[in-house]
Amino acid sequence: MPSTTKVLHFFCSALATSVSVGLLGFSMSTSWSESSMECTEQNTAYGNGSAMITMALFDLISARSFCPVLGQDPEVFKAFPELAKVGGAPQILHGLCVLLLVLCLVCSAGSILISLYNSISNPYETYMGPIGIYACNAGSACLSLLVLIVFALNVHVTGMPEGLARSNSKVIPVDVRDTQTQMGLGYFLVIPYLALSLLATGFIYLYQHAAYTHRREQQKPTEDAPKEIMMY
């Protein structure tokens, strides 16, 4: 049976990863960005309309005012069909974000299983030991960091909100300008997910460091003994 110290460290690692999975799951169900912009009918120089696109991973909400007609109620759309209308980089990058988040969940699930296995057994230093946990948590951290970068680029660089606002105009083509975007709760929840993945790795590192120190202390009496004594 593993020692109490080992059980404690590996259980804490599994607990930290479990909390991170809960945060990531919630982040995938809430809004990731909110973009507001001015909206005018095409071929007109001025207008006082506005549009707001609230973007989640699988849904989006389009709210319009005089864009292009008076008083439209907020509408909910499925994200991927609407992004298919926009096409190009916004569609590809959004799909990449979702894929990377799924891979994050897979890596976290692997980390939890290996941590729990180590808390009840004594596997060798293989992919079922600390090495496996390091690999899974490193994958989770790197992939989640990549998600933060890719989604921010998609919102601020590729013109995804503007394209969605244009594609949602069913009858009258519109122009949009002066877009202002704020990142949502779902986006920011990826940061504590990343931090908890690193924390889970830290628990395992602390255990390995403590185990190495303990082994060194047990070897010290033999290393420090006089050579004459060791000969007998």
CB–CB of 64/72 below 8 Å?
A: yes
Cβ partners under 8 Å of residue 84, min gap 6: 91
pLDDT at 121: 84
Lowest-confidence region among 39-53, 109-123, 129-143: 39-53
Query: Per residue in 147-175, pLDDT tens?
Result: 999 999 999 998 888 888 777 665 566 77
- Considering the chain, what is the average pLDDT of its residues? 84
pTM: 0.84
Where do the structural domains in the chain lie, given as residue ranges?
Answer: 4-31+79-171+184-209
Contacts of 99 (CB under 8 A, 6+ apart): none
Q: Is the pLDDT of residue 77 over 90?
A: no
The pair of structure tokens assigned to 189 is: 């929840």
Q: Residue 126 — very low, low, confident or very high, per pLDDT cuts 50/70/90?
A: confident
Grade residue 120 by pLDDT with cuts at 50, 70 and 90.
Answer: confident
Note the pLDDT of residue 138.
95
Whether the predicted pLDDT of 231 surpasses 50: no
